[in-house]
């Protein structure tokens, strides 16, 4: 388990600012309501996802797919352009480890991260991890269960799945797993998540090219480094082998050994080396450079290159498709089922009849009134009502019979289409298809 030594500097300051902004977003987003609707809520039992105000219903999961594709492409684009910026500055693992360390430092004191802890300090360290894990897990839970429900369950001590069972409620199971995982991660696993588990680290390393910035050590200036008790700068290179770059590294790697998958490009070793060498009026040996700049320090960064152009173009295409789908979105959905009780009947003097059940959902936040029509003049709908009212975000099952006076020659079944129209917004319509059957 690596606990990095605290460091001050430009990159640490940038990281702190980003951490605070992202933490505030994490803490606030699940509590935001607009017009009574959640801004962000992944309601799995209700099969409705609220993503930044957009309400995604099960038949609209293509929105979610597009969001995931755009996130993936953004990762590709920004990695090619700016290196592993996501790992160093945006990844929740990196950010939460900073907050767990901040909490532990509060209870342990300034020695935290600087030297091995005694038993009492270790107990305080784990106590801090545990308290923060509970707090963060409650917030995380609010992304899946409305916070009003969590508060009500807590106030009424509803910890079980039902009144006559000792099985824990789903949210209690979630909390136990989340807290357990968080304490294990902060207290033991930590840097191994980046080094051994995270697939993004491997993807991102594969996505770098010779023009992507990486954190690297200047071997030409740094070596030969100081060895053992050698006097400062008796050695040929500028590296005084203070080991600070290694001690401040959250994944515990020595960047002087070259680019490694464990380097999350956080730049903290840059701060450490800058602080150390500035005392000797020397420039840092570790910095963000492209692989080309490592070979040739005078090389310029190329932002415009085939890889970045292709990623940006793809991103633009998907973003355009997303906006188009959003703008042309119809807040109503419909499906049709055949009513097995009235399938393929012949009634003398009336004709052939089939029964149907149309399910209409209103995704808007106001009631709507819909009318069902059949798109073929040979059929006639025999419905108990002309129009049907559906409440805000409601759902109706509408049953009706369709009559055909004549039998289709040689046909056992014929396709039939129904149009469901919002009476007050005629552009909001859905067409569903099924078949009309004739008795043998």
Q: Binding residues for ligand SF4, per CB under 6 A?
A: 215, 217, 222, 239-245, 248-251, 253, 255-256, 263-269, 272-273, 276-277, 285-286
Task: Output 191 or 422, the one with its CB closest to ligand SF4.
Answer: 191
Query: What is the spatial distance between Cα 331 and Cα 353, in angstroms, rounded to a whole number?
Result: 31
Q: What does the radius of gyration of the chain's CA atoms come to, in whole angstroms?
A: 31
93 vs 353 by CB, closer to ligand SF4: 93
Closest by CA to 249, choosing from 12, 56, 10, is 12
Q: Helix, strand, or coil here: 184? A: helix
Smallest separation (angstroms) from ligand SF4 to the CB of 129: 21
Least distance to ligand SF4, CB of residue 18, Å: 14
How far, in Å, are 54, 229, 270, 350 from residue 256 at the CA level? 47, 20, 12, 89
- CA-closest candidate to residue 97, choices 194, 203, 178, 200: 194
Instruction: Decide whether 266 or 401 has the Cβ nearer to ligand SF4.
Output: 266
For ligand SF4, give the closer residue by CB, 55 or 271: 271
Cβ neighbours around 125 below 10 Å, total: 22
Q: Which residues pair with 413 in a beta bridge?
A: 437
In the numeric block, the tokens 């059940």 are attached to 357
Shorter beta-carbon distance to ligand SF4: residue 242 or 344: 242
What whole-number distance in Å separates Cα of residue 280 and Cα of residue 384?
Answer: 91
To ligand SF4, the closest distance from the beta carbon of 93 in angstroms equals: 12
H-assigned helices in 142-282: 147-155, 170-184, 191-192, 199-207, 219-222, 244-247, 268-278
For residue 224, cis peptide bond before it (omega within 30 degrees of 0): yes
Q: What angle do CA 262, 274, 18 make, to 5 degrees?
A: 60
140: helix, strand or coil: helix
Our CB check for ligand SF4 shows the closer of 247 and 374 to be 247
Closest contact distance (angstroms) between CB of 244 and ligand SF4 is 4
In the complex, minimum distance from the CB of residue 187 to ligand SF4, in angstroms, rounded to a whole number? 20
In angstroms, give the least distance from the CB of 282 to ligand SF4: 9
Please answer whether residues 26 and 143 qualify as being in contact, where contact means their C-beta atoms are separated by less than 8 angstroms: no
Angle, CA of 225, 231 and 234, to the nearest 5° = 60
Q: How far is the CB of 257 from ligand SF4 (least distance, A)?
A: 10
Pair of tokens at residue 46: 């209700």
Residue number, 166 or 206, with CB nearest to ligand SF4? 206
Q: How far apart are CA 152 and CA 154, in angstroms?
A: 5
Least separation in angstroms between CB 119 and ligand SF4: 29
Residue 249 beta carbon to ligand SF4: minimum distance, rounded to whole angstroms: 3
In the complex with ligand SF4, which residue's Cβ is closer, 35 or 228?
A: 228
Nearer to ligand SF4, 286 or 420 (CB): 286
In the bound state with ligand SF4, the residue whose beta carbon lies nearer, of 133 and 269, is: 269
CB of 232 to ligand SF4, least distance (A): 10
Using alpha carbons, list the distances in angstroms from residue 328 to 70, 324, 331, 369, 423: 19, 6, 10, 20, 18
Nearer to ligand SF4, 256 or 289 (CB): 256
The least CB distance from residue 296 to ligand SF4, in Å, is 21
Neighbours of 222 (CB within 10 A): 20
Burial 300-316 (b: 16+ CB within 10 A, else e): eeeeeeebbeebbebbe
């Amino acid at each position: 388990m690596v606990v990095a030594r605290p460091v001050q500097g430009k990159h640490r300051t940038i990281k702190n600012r980003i951490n605070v902004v992202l933490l505030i977003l994490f803490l606030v987003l699940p509590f935001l309501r607009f017009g009574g609707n959640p801004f962000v809520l992944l309601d799995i039992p209700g099969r409705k996802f609220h993503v930044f105000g957009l309400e995604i219903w099960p038949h609209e999961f293509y929105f979610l797919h597009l969001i995931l594709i755009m996130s993936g492409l953004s990762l590709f684009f920004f990695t090619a352009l700016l290196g592993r910026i996501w790992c160093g500055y945006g990844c929740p693992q990196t950010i939460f480890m900073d907050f767990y360390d901040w909490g532990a430092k509060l209870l342990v004191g300034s020695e935290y991260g600087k030297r091995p802890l005694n038993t009492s300090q270790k107990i305080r360290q784990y106590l801090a991890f545990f308290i923060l894990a509970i707090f963060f897990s409650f917030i995380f839970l609010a992304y899946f269960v409305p916070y009003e429900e969590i508060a009500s369950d807590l106030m009424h001590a509803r910890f079980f799945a039902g009144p006559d069972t000792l099985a824990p409620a789903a949210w209690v199971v979630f909390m136990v797993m989340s807290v357990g995982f968080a304490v294990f991660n902060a207290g033991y696993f930590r840097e191994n998540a980046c080094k051994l588990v995270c697939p993004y680290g491997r993807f991102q390393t594969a996505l770098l090219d010779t023009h992507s910035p990486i954190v690297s050590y200047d071997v030409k200036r740094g070596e030969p480094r100081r060895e053992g008790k050698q006097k400062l700068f008796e050695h040929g290179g500028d590296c005084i082998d203070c080991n600070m770059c290694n001690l401040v590294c959250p994944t515990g790697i020595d960047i002087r050994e070259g680019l490694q998958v464990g380097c999350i490009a956080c730049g903290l070793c840059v701060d450490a080396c800058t602080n150390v060498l500035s005392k000797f009026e020397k420039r840092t040996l570790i910095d963000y450079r492209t692989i080309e700049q490592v070979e040739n320090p005078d090389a310029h960064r190329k932002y415009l290159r085939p890889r970045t152009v292709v990623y940006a173009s793809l991103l633009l295409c998907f973003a355009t498709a997303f906006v188009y789908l959003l703008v042309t979105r119809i807040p109503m959905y419909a499906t049709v089922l055949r009513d097995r009780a009235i399938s393929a009947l012949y009634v003398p003097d009336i004709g052939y009849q089939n029964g149907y059940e149309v399910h209409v959902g209103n995704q808007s936040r106001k009631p709507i009134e819909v009318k069902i029509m059949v798109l073929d003049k040979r059929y006639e709908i025999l419905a108990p009502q002309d129009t049907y009212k559906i409440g805000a975000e409601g759902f109706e099952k509408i049953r009706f019979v369709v009559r055909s006076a004549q039998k289709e020659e040689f046909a056992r079944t014929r396709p039939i289409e129904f149009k469901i129209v919002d009476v007050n917004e005629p552009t909001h319509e859905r067409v569903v298809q099924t078949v009309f059957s004739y008795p043998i």
